Amino acid sequence: MTGQLWTLRGAHTEYTVTVPAHGRWLELVAWGPHGVSDGPSPVAYDGPVPFLTAGDAAPIEYATDADRPFTGADLVIETSNGQRRVGFVHTDARIDADQRELAVAFADAVTGLRATVHYRVPAGTDVVQRWVELTNDGTDALRVVRAGSGGFCVPTPHGALLSHQWGQWEQEFQLSHVELGHGTFSIGSSQGVPGHLHVPWLAVRDTADPAGSAWGMGLAWTGSWEISAERDTGGLTRVRAGRQLVDGPLELPPGESLTLPVVTGAYSPDGLDGLARVWHTHQRLLAGERLTPRPVLYNSWEATYFAVEAQSQLALARIAAELGVETFVVDDGWFVGRNDDTAGLGDWTPDPAKFPAGFDAFIADVRALGLNFGLWVEPECVNPKSTLYAEHPDWVYSVDGRPLTPVRNQYLLDLGRPEVAEFVHSTVDGLLRRYDIDYLKWDFNRPRTEPGRAGGIAPLDLDGAHVANLHRIYEQLRRDHPGVLIEACAGGGARTDLAMAARADVFWPSDNTGPLDRLAIQYGFLHANAPHLLSSWVTDAPGLFDSRPRSLAFRFVLAMAGVLGIGADIRAWTPDERAEAADWIARYKEIRDVVTHGEVHLIGGPDQARCAVQYTAPDENRVVVLAWHTGRLDGAGLLPSRPVRLPLRGLDPAARYSHGDRHYSGSHLATVGLPVHWSATHDADLIVLTRD
């Protein structure tokens, strides 16, 4: 079957691969819009490769170190005597009738290793999901030294323009661009979690056409990871993505199989903005029937911190209900021993001193206000000052004979241990069965430091075991409690990847709720994630990096870009502020279906004079525009009064749209733009256009 072509077809794209006549590997022919596979391959290289091997220059889809010994392999296998250089021969392939699923098999006669490279294009999308299944059919144990999920080859004849997201705690999802003429660019995490420092997401464009074709890669892995991009002298950029093996090589005994994480590629002809919409479509498909407009929530953290007790929480809940909030979430501090961050984690029993009438009665009082009820948990962590740690000190990650490293005064439970996984699942499941809970905020406030297990026999794939059990617990909870929404949080946005997007209902992108800081965070977030995953609160907190104040309107319009929440101490709001908040919440409820399901266009940016997000309803009858002014607002007369023009995208040029008593044609909105007037007291706008 060598020399055969297989083409996978997406909604607007195609992905074509082949096994060359020598049968040693699978390589890309073309990836892009329908028809890109016709004619010469845009990634093929037929020139000489002196001082290298042919594989080092070929657009290989999944390369061993025998295929690419010098320019970076996806898979490195080591035998028991330390030898490497696995070399495959093609054995089989199968593709489904719809041309959306493909499996290509290879085998190595020396080691007995089999590898099946899988492809899937979900219906209605322009992404290709890829993963590899390894099976040891030999008689000796093998070690997986590098566990990449795949390599994506992108034509960049003029140079590669790479877009990535970097950050830190309270400054996540900062969008940045790097021109890569030659050499390698790499990002990743060794923290046992995707982390705040980088996002497992990358975009590639040719430097000569940044508004044109864009290719993206995202990894579905909630542990340590790595993504690298290398541009060769022939103009090909190859992106490798997969696990980072922080615990050492993976053991693959005879007869055993190992499935590597899914890595997803995306294509758009319309630059980063178009690529964002491809990711949104994919993530909405991952959500399935759970893709519904999320309730407006109130979270008590910034109002009370650890000082949680029934009466103060109910006072907040009463005001929240009057404002139109639908779900009330009690954050950290509700359980025994939890008066600060030094104690209590692990002992998940409501504190009777804080809820003297009982936690059931407290929840009933909240629900009597017409509110659903939500609760914060951090079940993977434990404080040294807790009953759980006193009884099970061996349950935390540790290296025998070495001191433990506390982060935020807590240790991390070894979720890969079956008894720990059972404890975590039974604890959260028990809370959901015992109490009338509709919303769960699952937090994770520290990385893994000690890479060991008490009394454990090395080597252990601690990272893989933790991730596998975490995913399984999320899946069990969603299966057994389908009405409960789960918010994934990790000290902010340290746990956002495609695997969690398929298992959580919403992400908490950052602990920073300051308005201008948050604008930049959300701008980056929406390039890689759909709005239904974006939890955003209105608070009174100043930004850490840009502390300029913004109006209540600015903060509400900003939080409406995804899932609207409130985290301010609303007891301190004036009657006028509460009335304004109630009006914004009512307006959000009118547009949230468009925000949830609409086609998104990102206009301008947080560092530009104009910054907006446009949402066009699937039936194209409504267009929602959220716009913010990012300039100076520190005194009357300092803000220019000239209107800003926002060019809207994706509208029918022949259609007419109305906003109040103003009427516009689609072509006018695309070319001249929608006028938005700013003033010293008007720094944000929510505009709803209706198709006439």
Q: Which residues are catalytic?
A: 443, 511
Extended beta strands in 474-587, E state: 485-488, 506-507, 535-538, 563-566
- Give the 3-state secondary structure of 400-453: CCCCCCCECCEEEECCCCHHHHHHHHHHHHHHHHHCCCCEEEECCCCCCCCCCE
List the one residue out of 476, 502, 470, 518 whose CA is nearest residue 193. Answer: 470
DSSP 638: -
Residue 455 makes CB contacts below 8 A (sequence gap 6+) with 394, 400
DSSP 679: B
Burial 100-109 (b: 16+ CB within 10 A, else e): bbbbbbbbbe
List the one residue out of 388, 444, 390 whose CA is nearest residue 419. Answer: 388
Beta bridge partners of 144: 77, 250
DSSP 660: T
Residue 152 makes CB contacts below 8 A (sequence gap 6+) with 28, 31, 215, 217, 238, 239, 241, 263, 265
List the one residue out of 579, 480, 523, 615 whose CA is nearest residue 165. Answer: 523
Judged by DSSP in three states, 496 sits in coil
Amino acid identity, position 12: H
Q: Which residues are annotated as a binding site?
A: 169, 331-332, 408, 441-445, 489, 511
d(CA 103, CA 230): 26
Burial label for 680, CB within 10 Å (0-12, 13-18, 19+), is middle
d(CA 165, CA 142): 35
10 Å Cβ neighbour count for 168?
A: 11
Judged by DSSP in three states, 377 sits in strand
Q: Which residues are annotated as a binding site for substrate?
A: 169, 331-332, 408, 441-445, 489, 511
In the block, tokens 């639908």 appear at 326
Give, in order, the Cα–Cα distances in Å from 320 to each of 145, 297, 335, 558: 53, 9, 23, 19
H or E element: which one contains 90? Answer: strand 89-95
